[in-house]
Structure formats: C-alpha cells, structure tokens
Amino acid sequence: MATELLLQQTIGHEILVMEAELGAKGSHTQTLDALITEAEATLPVKDSYTREEALSVLAGIGNIIKGFGSPNNGDNDDYLFHQGLDSRVLDYDNRSWIYLSIAESLGLPLAAVNAPEHVFIRFILGEDKINWETTSMTELSDRYYINWLKISSEAVDNGVYLRTLTRDEAKSIAVSNIGHAWHKKGEPDKAIKDYSQAINIDPNSARTYNNRGTAWAEKGEPDKAIEDFDDAISLDPNNASAHYNRGNAWHKKGELARAIEDFDDAIRLDPNNASAHNNRGNAWAEKGNLTKAIKDYSQAINIDPNLAAAYDNRGNAWAEKGEPDKAMEDYDHAISLDPNNASAHYNRGIAWHTKGELAKAIEDYDHAIRLNPNNADTHNNRGIAWHTKGEPDKAIKDYSQAINIDPNNADTHYNRGIAWAEKGNRENAVADFLRARRLNPLLSLPEAFRE
C-alpha cells in the first residue's frame, strides 16, 4: 500500500503514506493529484509575487478547495487527511495540507503556522508575509490570532505559536494527529510513539505534550502524564486543556489541593468548561467541602444541562448532606439523560435503600450490575438489600460475587458471615469472620463468634 501511495512527494502525499495503516490508499493520492493538477492549470507561476498577486493565488487555491469540499469549522476536527479527502469535509489541518501540497508543486513560498488547536498558512513575501485563514479564505493579522485564540505572550516568545514552521515541523502536526487517531482507537502505546516522534521534530508543540500526557494518564502513569502537562504549560501558560488534564492527574494521585489549583486555572482560562467545574466539584467533595462541591456541580449543569455525570455527582453530595429527596431528583435526571449510567443507577439504589424502599433499590442495583457487572460494591449492596428482605440465599450469592471481584474487602466477608450464621452454617460463618478480621483487625465480630 505504501508503494501505491508514493506517486509524488509533496507534503500531502507523505502524510497519506504515514496514514496508510489507518486507511489511506491510492485513491486518496489520486484525489490530491487531481487538486494539484487543477491548480497547475489555473494558477499563475512566477519567480516573485506582489502582495495583490499573492492574495489572488491564495484565493485561487481556496476556490479549488471550495469546489472540492465544504469546510469543517469545529464540529469534528479529528479527521485525518485521508478522511477529509474521503468525506470532502475539510478541517483547517486538511485544508493546510492541500495548500502546502499545491505550493510545493508550483514552487510557491507557503508555510504552515501553528496556533492553539489550529493551523493556518503563511505566504512569505521577502520581509513581508500574509497570514491566510484557510477556513474563511481571508487574510488575518498575528494580533487577530492572539486575541481570537487567547495566545499568551510567553507562548509567542517561546516559539510555540505564530512561528513560521519548517516543512518537517508542519509534518510533525500530522504525526501528532495520527497519534491522536491511535489514541481514540484505544491504542495508547502507538499514540505515545507517534506523539514522541512529533515532539522530537518540534519540541515546542504544547498541544503534542498535552496529548501525550493524556495517553500516559490513560495508561495509569500519572507521573509521566504530569511531566508532559508541565511541559505543555511551561510552553503555553494559557493552555486550558493542559491545566484541566493536569488537575485530573493530580486528582488521580490524591493531591486534591494541587488538582483544585489546576482546575481553577482551567476555569479561569475557559469558564465554559463544564467538565472542569464538575471535576473540581469532585475534588471539593473528597475534601469534605460539600457546599463548594454542589456549587461547582450546579455551575457545570448550567453550562451543560446534558452532563449526566454532574447530576449524579451532585446527587451524591446532596445525599451526604442528608438531603435524600434532592439526591433522588438528581439521580433521576442523570438517568433520564443517560439510561446506561451505571453509577447513577447504583447511587439511586443506595438512596432508595436509605429510604427503606428495598424493591426499588434492588431494581436499580440490577440495572447497575447489568451495565457494570464487575463492581463489587453493587453486588455487596444488593446482597445487603436481599439480606434485609429476608432472602439470605440471594444475599450470599451477591456477597460471593462481590468477593470474587474483590477478595480483600473485609466488610463483604463480614456480611456473608452474618448471612451464613443466620442460616445456621457456623463453619462458613466462622471462616468468613476470620477472613474479615485478618483483612481488618478492628472489626468487631458478633458476640457469639468472639473468642
């Protein structure tokens, strides 16, 4: 397949070769060749260009692309180049690769320029330059991009953004995009390999450090993730995503104060990030500040009324504050938004259980187990509900399943011991109580089983 793709050696063709494992094939090079051929037939080729001529050439390439496909202005910016050529819905990256491929074929002095989560084209006119926004086909100044994308002066000074990229640095964006595609496919090792290659080419790419950090986090490597997020933030202090992601990593490590600090920065930089408010609420809840937690969950819901997790989390906070009716209302809302939310079913089951509605509790535990059969706590709680209803056999079955999933939970062994004792099986009861005491020496056993 790679040989089939190597028909020309513009940057676009090379990117398609790199994407071969993800689906690029010869038909995509033919599509790109056709666009280049049209440009060669319609655009003037000169040794030098006036500003007006350069703008005309840029518009001409834009019109060729416009005739080929429609712009994607943010609904889905995860397309690889061959996917954009397939769908004819082209994001800023894909449009840039076409501009650069045509430029290389015609000898035009074009280069790519990086901006936060964005790429545009620059026409080099000696000491002058034209920044060309490919999605709107307009000339924009550096100052416009700084204001529009909230680019910090540090990021400009560090050469992260608004710098004319070399050809290899432009290709590194495509390499990073391929890493992102592997990441979405659940292949973090392949993603990290591509992200690392992109960073080796362009060590000033804050976006790629941030993306590699998320891959490390998904692999359960929070320290490596934080190191990458640190680099991203050092390069681009206004990178809200990197602050948010580092906050999640600190949270994973149990560093709640640091997590909240990063979530604060993420929210300051992007006040409409509902997930940042939700996750900061989780950190406040773990610190025991339920009032601040509820405030954050409520703000997350105001921003995104469809964020089921925020309703679920706020329900937990209301439950801890002794407000079961408010908790139930939030769990209901979470489940109405996402009927497959195992956590919300589990939590609502606890709420029904607390209210003494055992049948309704069991029904929710049933849903939660169907959605997530490997949650030991749900099996244990359903066992308690069955036990309370006078169904020790069903209780023992659930306790046993919980122990299979998590054999080191002292409470579940204790609960099963009680059920065995009530059934008159002293041998099994003693075995469970002894196991419970080994796991938690502070457990107080029933009087009849104390030594």
Superfamily of domain 167-252: Tetratricopeptide repeat domain (1.25.40.10)
Domain boundaries defined on the chain = 2-150, 167-252, 378-451
Phi, psi of 78, deg, nearest 5: -105, 10
What are 451's two structure tokens?
Answer: 């030594």
As a CATH number, domain 2-150 is 3.10.620
Question: Any idea what the Cα angle at residue 59 is, between residues 55 and 60, rounded to 5°?
Answer: 115
Pairing relationship of beta strands 89-90 and 128-133 according to DSSP bridges: unpaired
Give pLDDT tens digits along the chain (451 positions).
Answer: 343 444 458 999 999 999 999 999 999 999 999 999 999 999 999 999 999 999 999 999 999 999 997 776 554 555 799 999 999 999 999 999 999 999 999 999 999 999 999 999 999 998 899 999 999 999 999 999 999 999 999 999 999 999 999 999 999 999 999 999 999 999 999 999 999 999 999 999 999 999 999 999 999 999 999 999 999 999 999 999 999 999 999 999 999 999 999 999 999 999 999 999 999 999 999 999 999 999 999 999 999 999 999 999 999 999 999 999 999 999 999 999 999 999 999 999 999 999 999 999 999 999 999 999 999 999 999 999 999 999 999 999 999 999 999 999 999 999 999 999 999 999 999 999 999 999 998 888 787 666 6
Fold equal for 2-150 and 378-451: no
Superfamily of domain 378-451: Tetratricopeptide repeat domain (1.25.40.10)
The region that residue 125 occupies, defined by phi over 0 for left and psi between -120 and 50 for alpha, beta otherwise, is: beta
- How many secondary structure helices (H) and strands (E) does the chain include? 24, 6
Q: Is the whole-model pTM more than 0.85?
A: yes
| Planar angle of CA 337, 338, 342, nearest 5 degrees | 140
Q: Which of 63, 59, 9, 3 is nearest to 32 (CA)?
A: 9
